[in-house]
């Protein structure tokens, strides 16, 4: 196949060895397999990876098989994974009942619950790169290429750079859209004994990420074969850590979890960078965007970012790059904002708890979505498309031609959440 952009991709750098950087390095290796090129995988071993991110979307199952050339069963064992068929909501919305948000087609399509460190290891085995352990000080676009400045090492120039350095140190409103209609900003992570194990390490039964509403927010429960991961997601300005930990203890008691290892307290921003791709430098993973993990939207966003950037750089001649980059950038920002609206909407009907947090989430935070995602402010139509999905759900008959509509996620996802929440 002729790829007009291929000759302009000879030196590529990926910065960061977390999930996003590891996916990028394996993707470059896979896409450029039949040509000559140089790939530098750069990371600072003194800066740890975030190490959480254990839920995914079904596209990862196919992608890992392609990137690793391994059978699905082997991959699942290697990442100590289980098959995730959706998210099981407990205590959300007005109906006081449990419901499941299934991937479509229901009970057929599955994703992985995975151990984040083992996923990165698996991807490293599939990447053909020179490793550089050094701190990156700056990335600058210079005459159609990117110069990386290092600490204690000569600068280098590349045709394409994936910047996967994790959460930005500061977030300015000129550079970022603050997804402030999502009400949470902190997670307490606990690791509990595994409940899913088999002798050969392959769990075939259907599993779900539990999303359990609690007075201070909600708790995810992710079953792996190595352990079960619990995370309490809350807002540190509304609830104090002590109260959250006490409620966490109560939930573990109800779940009859005998012991746990306290892993981390992680503060996170909900944001998307306004410039994810300028033609030469692509921000990916948590460096590009993040929103709380209710619908596990981070890895799938990184897959999309990497896929789009490589596709455009390989298949379009370099002379079009400035115009193409604008289009790619708008598409990616638009998709992430759509994910944001979908996630934020989960809070719009409250939960079984009448608490300060749920009042804050439903009455004060979610209503901001119309101003934050106003098309004039964000230069994309995410809000218009989101409104269209909600209007379709309200119509007495949904025309067959509309069944396959999407706004980041399919109409079936909107329908399931709407039914489940009771709004
Ligand atoms: C509580 C919580 C739960 C989550 N759950 C999910 C989930 O279920 N599903 C999901 O998809 N996602 C989830 N995520 C998101 C998850 O964090 C990301 O999917 C994923 O781990 C991406 O991380 P990253 O690779 O972008 O960055 P990181 O893991 O932070 O890696 C950053 C890398 O950059 C390197 N680095 C940093 N600065 C420099 C520098 N100056 N020079 C050189 N190297 C540098 C570091 O050494 C490191 O290797 C969750 C996040 C949180 C906070």
Taking CA atoms, 373 is separated from 175, 271, 298, 366, 391, in Å, by 15, 12, 19, 11, 17
The answer to whether 282 and 305 have CB atoms below 8 angstroms apart is: yes
Minimum CA distance residue for ligand 1 atom 20: 19
**Ligand 1: which residues within 6 Å by Cβ?**
15-21, 42-44, 47, 49-50, 52-56, 116, 135-136, 164-166, 187, 231, 266, 268, 285-287, 293, 296, 298-299
- Tell me, rounded to whole angstroms, the distance of Cα 44 from its chain centroid: 22
The pLDDT assigned to 400 comes to 96
Domain ranges of the chain: 6-337, 344-421
**At a CB cut-off of 8 Å and minimum separation 6, what does 77 contact?**
200, 201, 202
Q: What is the largest CA-CA distance in the chain?
A: 65
Report the C-alpha gap between 1 and 290 in whole angstroms: 35
**At a CB cut-off of 8 Å and minimum separation 6, what does 24 contact?**
14, 162, 164, 284, 302, 306
The pLDDT assigned to 33 comes to 87
49 CA from centroid of ligand 1 (Å)? 6
pTM of the prediction? 0.97
**At a CB cut-off of 8 Å and minimum separation 6, what does 312 contact?**
5, 321, 324, 325, 328
Ligand 1 pocket: which of 86, 166, 297 to mutate (most atoms within 8 A of CB): 166
For residue 296, give the ligand 1 atom closest to its CA: 9
For residue 288, give the ligand 1 atom closest to its CA: 26
- In sequence order, what are the beta bridge partners of 277? 282
The pLDDT assigned to 183 comes to 98
Instruction: At 417, list the tokens.
Output: 């959440």
102 CA from centroid of ligand 1 (Å)? 26
Number of separate helices (H) and strands (E) present in the chain:
12, 21
Report helix, strand or coil for 127: coil
Report the C-alpha gap between 22 and 120 in whole angstroms: 6
Minimum CA distance residue for ligand 1 atom 8: 55
17 CA from centroid of ligand 1 (Å)? 8
Taking CA atoms, 234 is separated from 92, 215, 220, in Å, by 15, 9, 11
225 CA from centroid of ligand 1 (Å)? 22
**DSSP secondary structure, 179-232, as one string:** -TTS---EEEEEEE--S---TTS---SEEEEEEEEETTEEEEEEE-SS-EEEEE
| Residue of 117, 112, 118 whose CA lies nearest to 202 | 112
Taking CA atoms, 37 is separated from 7, 34, 124, 224, 282, in Å, by 9, 9, 17, 37, 18
Q: Cα angle at 375 between 371 and 376, to 5 degrees?
A: 85
CATH of segment(s) 6-337:
3.50.50.60
The answer to whether 17 and 43 have CB atoms below 8 angstroms apart is: yes
The pLDDT assigned to 35 comes to 79
Minimum CA distance residue for ligand 1 atom 16: 53
Tens place of pLDDT per residue across the chain (423 aa): 789 999 999 999 999 999 999 999 999 999 998 778 999 999 999 999 998 889 999 999 999 999 999 999 999 999 999 999 999 999 999 888 899 999 999 999 999 999 999 999 999 999 999 999 999 999 999 989 999 999 999 999 999 999 999 999 999 999 999 999 999 999 999 999 998 878 888 999 999 999 999 999 999 999 999 999 999 999 999 999 999 999 999 999 999 998 999 889 999 999 999 999 999 999 999 999 999 999 999 999 999 999 999 999 999 999 999 999 999 999 999 999 999 999 999 999 999 999 999 999 999 999 999 999 999 999 999 999 999 999 999 999 999 999 999 999 999 999 999 999 998
């Amino acid at each position: 196949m002729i790829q007009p952009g291929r000759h302009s991709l000879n030196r590529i750098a990926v910065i960061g060895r977390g999930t996003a950087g590891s996916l990028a390095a394996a993707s470059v290796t896979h896409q450029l397999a039949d040509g000559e090129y140089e790939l530098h995988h750069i990371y600072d071993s003194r800066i740890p990876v975030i190490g959480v991110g254990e839920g995914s979307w079904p596209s990862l199952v196919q992608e890992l098989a392609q990137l690793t050339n391994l059978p699905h069963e082997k991959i699942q064992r290697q990442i100590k994974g289980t098959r995730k068929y959706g998210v099981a909501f407990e205590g959300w919305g007005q109906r006081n009942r449990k419901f499941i948000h299934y991937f479509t087609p229901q009970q057929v399509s599955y994703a992985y619950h995975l151990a984040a460190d083992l996923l990165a290891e698996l991807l490293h085995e599939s990447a053909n790169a020179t490793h550089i352990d050094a701190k990156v000080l700056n990335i600058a676009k210079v005459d159609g290429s990117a110069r990386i400045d290092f600490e204690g090492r000569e600068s280098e120039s590349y045709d394409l750079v994936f910047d996967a350095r994790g959460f930005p140190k500061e977030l300015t409103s000129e550079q970022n859209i603050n997804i402030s209609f999502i009400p949470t900003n902190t997670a307490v992570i606990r690791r509990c004994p595994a409940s899913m194990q088999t002798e050969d390490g392959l769990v075939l039964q259907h599993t779900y990420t539990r999303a359990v509403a609690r007075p201070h927010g909600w708790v995810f429960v992710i079953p792996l074969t190595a352990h079960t991961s619990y995370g309490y997601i809350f807002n540190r300005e509304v609830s104090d850590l002590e109260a959250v930990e006490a409620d966490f203890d109560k939930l573990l008691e109800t779940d009859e979890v005998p012991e746990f290892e306290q892993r981390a307290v992680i503060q996170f921003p909900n944001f998307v960078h306004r410039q994810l791709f300028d033609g030469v430098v692509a921000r990916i993973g948590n460096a590009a965007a993040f929103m709380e993990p209710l619908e596990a939207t981070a890895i799938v966003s990184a897959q999309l970012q990497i896929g789009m950037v490589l596709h455009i750089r390989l298949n379009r001649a370099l002379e079009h790059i400035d115009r193409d980059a604008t289009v790619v950038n708008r598409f990616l920002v638009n998709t992430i904002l759509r994910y944001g609206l979908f996630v934020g909407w989960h809070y719009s009907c409250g939960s079984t708890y009448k608490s300060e947090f749920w009042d804050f989430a439903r009455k004060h935070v979610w209503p901001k979505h119309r101003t934050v995602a106003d098309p004039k402010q964000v230069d994309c139509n995410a809000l218009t498309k989101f409104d269209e999905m909600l209007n379709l759900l309200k119509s007495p008959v949904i025309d067959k031609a509309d069944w396959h509509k999407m706004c980041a996620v399919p109409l079936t996802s909107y329908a399931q959440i709407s039914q489940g929440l009771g709004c």
